[in-house]
Amino acid sequence: MSVRIIQSNGGSTINWTKNDPPTIFFDTNVWRSINDTDIETLKRLQGNYGFRYKYSVTNFIELASHLEDQPSKSCRKPFQMFQSCFHRMRKLCDREILPSPEMVFLANAGLSHYIDDVWIPDLQQTFLAVELITNANSLTELIGEEEKNAETANAPRYVVKPSHYRNLRDIDGNSMRVIMDELREFNRPIFVDNRMVVWFQNLAHFFLFFRPTNGRKLLENTTREEYDRFYMALMEGSGQLFQTHCMSLVLKTVNDRRKVYPNDLYDMLQLILLENDNALFVTSEKNFFLYEIDSDQPKRVISWTKFISAAYKESSE
């Protein structure tokens, strides 16, 4: 049985099979906001119910991209603040890292051989990078620019380059804005018609194929069988879940005359990690709860505040 969230007047209840506790993963903003008290609460829930907490490649990239941020009024010590997020992940989570949504989707479509490591980090390298980040005494040590003495001058060592991940983040943000700007040409109210389907297919093609291949391959240049497998993967499982949520959010936001934030749709990609039907996604992003979906998919997305409240209610079968 898969994990499920049951909504009632009394709040949310999490149901799962007693001898098969679910995998729990969090969006990046949860990792940024939780404190030591929250960590102890999560550890207590882990001990009581056997929850398996995991962080994802997406969490890693988004947090690592901020390690070289400049100090500001809102964050005077950015390196220490974002390093603390990695400490929490390392303290709480399994050694097994969740892959990126693109990795999961392309594996389902049988297209993993097109992935380029420039865009999609290797899982073992990601684990090593987390170790390096948590153990670093300073940013200069992490990026390999600290002063070397005679004993360490020629010693080989691994380093992490946050600028690489910041570049990936910026390219993603700019690309998503370009795709979202196309919605301005649509007249309200918008519906799921052929034009909207083509818009979504362009978004999916870019973020789930063109970008993971580092631009080396266009989907139309693959074999007919591969082309069909890509779009079939959007019509079933977590690919369909991503499509349903994405289209629902766009229709609701545009028709309500609210601003469409590109990052909201980028966040939707994480739903693909729900390919494992015994996984639960915990988020602090309100955009996941602004709309209703007509879908047979069981609800497995829950807000951070409701998760903490619901997890205290032992509801395993």
Examine residue 53 and state whether it is found in any structural domain, yes or no: yes
Examine residue 252 and state whether it is found in any structural domain, yes or no: yes
Examine residue 165 and state whether it is found in any structural domain, yes or no: yes
Is residue 169's pLDDT more than 80? Answer: yes
Examine residue 304 and state whether it is found in any structural domain, yes or no: yes
Q: Span 216-233, mean pLDDT?
A: 93
pLDDT band at 313 (very low <50, low <70, confident <90, very high): low
Q: Span 93-104, mean pLDDT?
A: 92
Is residue 32's pLDDT more than 90? Answer: yes
Predicted pLDDT at 81: 95
Examine residue 91 and state whether it is found in any structural domain, yes or no: yes
Predicted pLDDT at 155: 40
Predicted pLDDT at 156: 41
The first and second tokens of residue 38, run together, are 């929250």
Rank 15-19, 152-156, 218-222 by mean pLDDT and report only the highest: 218-222
Is residue 62's pLDDT more than 90? Answer: yes
Pairing of strands 11-15, 23-26: unpaired
Domain range enclosing 159 = 4-311
Looking up tokens 């939780």, which residue turns up?
A: 34
* Per-residue pLDDT tens over the stretch 271-295: 999 998 899 999 988 878 765 665 5
Predicted pLDDT at 78: 93
Examine residue 292 and state whether it is found in any structural domain, yes or no: yes
Is residue 16's pLDDT more than 90? Answer: no
Predicted pLDDT at 233: 95
| 301 beta partners | 281
Predicted pLDDT at 135: 93
CA dist 107 → 60, 72, 187, 209, 219 (Å) = 20, 41, 37, 11, 15
Examine residue 156 and state whether it is found in any structural domain, yes or no: yes
To the question of pTM greater than 0.85 for the whole model, the response is yes
Q: Span 109-115, mean pLDDT?
A: 94
Predicted pLDDT at 10: 65
Predicted pLDDT at 153: 45
Looking at the 3D structure of the chain, how many domains does it have? 1
Is residue 111's pLDDT more than 90? Answer: yes
282, 308 Cβ separation under 8 angstroms: no
Examine residue 316 and state whether it is found in any structural domain, yes or no: no
Residue of 121 and 146 predicted with greater confidence: 121
Q: Span 215-219, mean pLDDT?
A: 87
Predicted pLDDT at 298: 60
Mean residue pLDDT of the chain comes to 85
Order of all β-strands in the sheet with 52-54: 52-54, 23-26, 279-283, 301-303
